[in-house]
Structure 1
Amino acid sequence: MIISGSRFRKTARFFPSLWFLFFILTIFSILPVKSAGTEEIVPGVWKGALVLREVAQEQSSPKLPSYSKDQQSMSLSFEFSLKILSQDRGLLVDIPEQGLYSYPIDEYSFDTQQISFIFDAIEGDEELLFVGTYSSSFLPPLSNHRGAIVGSVRGRSWNGSFYVQRQDSSVDPGSIFLDIPIEDGALPATLVFPLSETPSLDPNSSSDFPLILLVAGAGRADRDGNNVDVPGKNDSLKQLSNMLRMRNVGTLRYDKRGAGEAYKLEKPGRMTSFSEHVRDLSSVIVAAAAIPGHGRLIVAGMNEGAWIAMAALNDERLASLVDGLAVIDASGQSPIETLKQSLAGLDEDLRKKALDAAQSLVQNGVLIDVPAELADFFAPSRKDWLATWLAFDPVETIAKVRIPILLIYGENDLQVSWQEFSMLVEARPEAAIRIVPRMNYMLKEVKSEDENYSAFTDPSFRVPSLLADLLASFAKAQPAPQGFILWH
């Protein structure tokens, strides 16, 4: 079985059979314990275990792991987490040992006593059907109270069972969860207050703290900086937010449409367009400006999030609400130019067809037929996104932003080149420019190429303190700290 492009790893715990797990659960279930605080299925984080057993070999997938000689009796056990949001927002699944976090579930059904969903993060057409019921008498291993969702898992190549128990709600005492209204729904967000402030949305607040609105980067990156399409997690924006809190700067970060807890806002079979992200951010900026008790408001975007931010702030009405823009590890090269460079290795006829298709999208919003070699890139599901993304020009856009700009580049950024970043510098030569030593594209401090790539999926790599110091000083309108590499 392959989940999100990765095989089940050997670090998974083995059981001779599912009966071993059932025996353990039965022993625990006869011990005297208290009942759980809830006796029904409600929104929240539910954690437990998933046990899978391969079905008979003649029915199994040819892509199953080959590290066990006894394929027919092989069982795998994983930590398993289910985040139930709401009927309209859906479910998210974590399987940490597979590097899978916040995987969105499209097909699901649940009420107070039953839940079912289809897990499709498996290569090929394999799907697993999870069906569970709330049991008030079930006692999970190592738990001191009863009550959990217990159920079965069925698939073509794997069958098994799972249980999850609701975890106590743990909200950081320094933060508040918000829903930010947009034109067709709401974006989940986290407002983190400075260490010196008591979290409150009291309209009569006398506070005056600086606030930074953090905009996540490319793809389905969520408010913490994690992307479900990249195995593992990095927690870059979550770390940065906590570091700014310690420097008495508040932050607001949100799940973009199609990411994290906002995944259901993206229409099935259609990528959210670049212009839709810009409109959403416009609503978030208005909401941020209305938060009681904040002083200076800074918008800070990383890579493509910076593009979205500069596009939104071309609106003078929005720009009037903001005191500064921080552009972090963003390229000045336009998407259409990037496309041309990526086509360099193709034959002339194929290059022409690709550029014709791109021009048709940009000028008319029409997707013309393309050869099979280009079909994936110009897929119908990507039409609206491509049309607005290919039309974007970061140099032209940043030149029109009428508020102070701070340009930040990571010394060890392997994704945005020095030359690409310099295009933004040339467009705004009066902007403040800082190069953060050892920082990579994911805003992590790394010392080698191996660490650079590992930091994309390993939260143990830290955001540089110098980046947090720099953003804090910008938010407070104070002189920048020392220790940066000179721009030349």
Structure 2
Amino acid sequence: MRLTTIMTILALATLVVVACSATSDRSDQPDPANNPASAPADSGAGLAGVWQGRLEVMGQSLNATLRFVSSPDGFQGTIDIPQQMAFDLALAAISLSEQTVSFTLPVSPPLQATGNLTGNQLNGRFSQGPYSGTFSLTRQSAADASATVVVPEPVGEAVSLELAGGVLHGSLLRPDQPATMGVLLIAGSGPTDRDGNSMLLPGRNDSLRQLAEALAANGFLVLRADKRGIGRSVWPGLREEDLTVDQYAADAAAWAAWLRQQEGIRHIGLAGHSEGALVAMLASQLGQVDALALLAPLSMGFLDTVLQQLSGAEPRLLDAVRRITAELQSGRNVADVPAELQSLFRPSVQPYLISLARHEPARLLGSLPVPVFIVAGGRDLQIRLDDVRALAAARPDATFRELADMNHVLKAVGPDQADNRAAYSSPDYRLADGLVAGLVDFFRALR
């Protein structure tokens, strides 16, 4: 299997371009649409305005809209990358010197960009950690820009949870009739938002959004939330190197406690997808949880899964992976990481990997007293069916379902791998047959 495919599949990397960044409310930003400088202009117009074009990185071509306005203190700006569900990310260190433009996207690691301004064209290069890419932008009129940026409509009531240092954000879907059971959906690894969409991919699959809608239609109060560092759950000072899976579990437990406080709720279920299944299991140890649903769950130790999926890599890289994972499993950071493996093993993500290595899913599952539902997909390209069966064996009393046509993002797909991968970036694929019915039957038995 190609290494680039592995990096996309594992999705632990905080993607090039967007990562743990502080989003901003557009109402607090100067609006170029109300600034005459945003109209098309000649080369003397400077940087101010609305710019649209593309970012080219890692074989991906991403639409982007940048907005710059001048102020007494210099320039202010934001960037939208709709394919990555990223809107109004604040830019920093914006400068214009003669025809040279530079700016920074203050994420972890930061993105540094430098370009050349020629009339209404702005072209240049950017770098972020071990990656580099190019951008090509054209100044637009305000009307043109506003017509082409589409912000997905939220589904559900916006809710938030204050924590030490920041605020987590989520969406609550209420059924038509009063609910007695609340269900928290927990997203998988990497930059995956509350709807199940990954910033690593060029489109939305909306798997968790669709699952939330289906469960709410069947009478459950459903909460889905952005993990800290992802989507709306970001704040200044939040660093990738400070994240651990145990912290994600504590956040999930806090959301579960919040959900239990909602009117009429007597039972709480956690439904974790992929790595989110491990988070759900850990969270169930931290608070009162009545049921666990593990959806296409991470079934081996994470670093063992990495080794398994990279088994087809060239010997030099495979040897490096073995060396790095052995050190991480021993709780030690690794300084010498080949450039090709930086996406998976960069220094800032190693504390998170070490935290993952401390937990073995089957042993953990066997120790939990709550009812468990496990579902595996016959067309999952990331988690082997045999591994999920081995996980389920740790809880012989668990409800276990194998859905022949389900892929890793819970969608019904055909046998063609191209069709399977297309489902990762399209909301048009339906949830796999039997997934919703199985969950509904499992949760209803507890109400």
C-alpha separation between the residues in 2 aligned to 1:191 and 1:353? 44
C-alpha separation between the residues in 1 aligned to 2:433 and 2:39? 41
User: Offset of 1:434 from its aligned partner?
Assistant: 1.4
> 2:252 aligned with 1:267, yes or no?
no
User: Offset of 1:160 from its aligned partner?
Assistant: 1.5
2:27 to 27, 42, 57: 42
> Which protein, 1 or 2, shows the higher relative CO under an 8 Å CA cutoff with sep ≥ 6?
2
User: Offset of 1:294 from its aligned partner?
Assistant: 1.6
Distance 1:221 1:377, change over 3 A: closer
C-alpha separation between the residues in 1 aligned to 2:40 and 2:372? 53
| Match runs of 1:70-469 below 5 Å | 93-95=80-82, 99-102=83-86, 105=89, 107-108=91-92, 126=113, 154-156=122-124, 158-161=137-140, 163=142, 175-197=156-178, 208-264=179-235, 267-268=238-239, 270=241, 272-315=243-286, 318=287, 321-341=288-308, 344=311, 354-369=321-336, 377-449=344-416, 450-464=418-432, 466-469=434-437
Distance 1:161 1:348, change over 3 A: closer
Is the CA contact 2:92–2:106 (under 8 Å) kept in the aligned structure 1? no
**For the aligned residues, what is the CA RMSD?**
4.4
In structure 1, the residue corresponding to 2:233 is in which secondary structure? Answer: helix
C-alpha separation between the residues in 1 aligned to 2:310 and 2:153? 48
Q: Which has the larger radius of gyration?
A: 1
Residue identity in the other structure for 2:27: V
User: Offset of 1:231 from its aligned partner?
Assistant: 1.0
Aligned match of 1:16: none
Deviations 1:305-341, CA, capped at 9 Å, x for gaps: 11111122233xx1xx211000010132212322443
Residue identity in the other structure for 1:472: V
C-alpha separation between the residues in 1 aligned to 2:78 and 2:371? 40
User: When the two structures are superposed, what TM-score results if normalisation uses the length of structure 1?
Assistant: 0.64
Which stretches in structure 1 are left out of the alignment for 5+ residues?
Answer: 7-39, 56-62, 66-77, 83-89, 111-115, 131-151, 198-207, 480-488
Give % identity: 24
C-alpha separation between the residues in 2 aligned to 1:109 and 1:369? 31
C-alpha separation between the residues in 2 aligned to 1:289 and 1:425? 28
C-alpha separation between the residues in 2 aligned to 1:363 and 1:461? 41
Distance 1:474 1:383, change over 3 A: same
Distance 1:232 1:155, change over 3 A: same
Distance 1:183 1:129, change over 3 A: farther
Deviations 1:107-140, CA, capped at 9 Å, x for gaps: 2599xxxxx986799xx9655799xxxxxxxxxx
Which stretches in structure 2 are left out of the alignment for 5+ residues?
Answer: 1-14, 18-24, 44-53, 57-62, 68-76, 95-101, 125-135
User: When the two structures are superposed, what TM-score results if normalisation uses the length of structure 2?
Assistant: 0.69
Distance 1:354 1:329, change over 3 A: closer
User: Offset of 1:368 from its aligned partner?
Assistant: 4.7
Aligned match of 1:58: none
User: Offset of 1:169 from its aligned partner?
Assistant: 11
C-alpha separation between the residues in 1 aligned to 2:296 and 2:421? 16
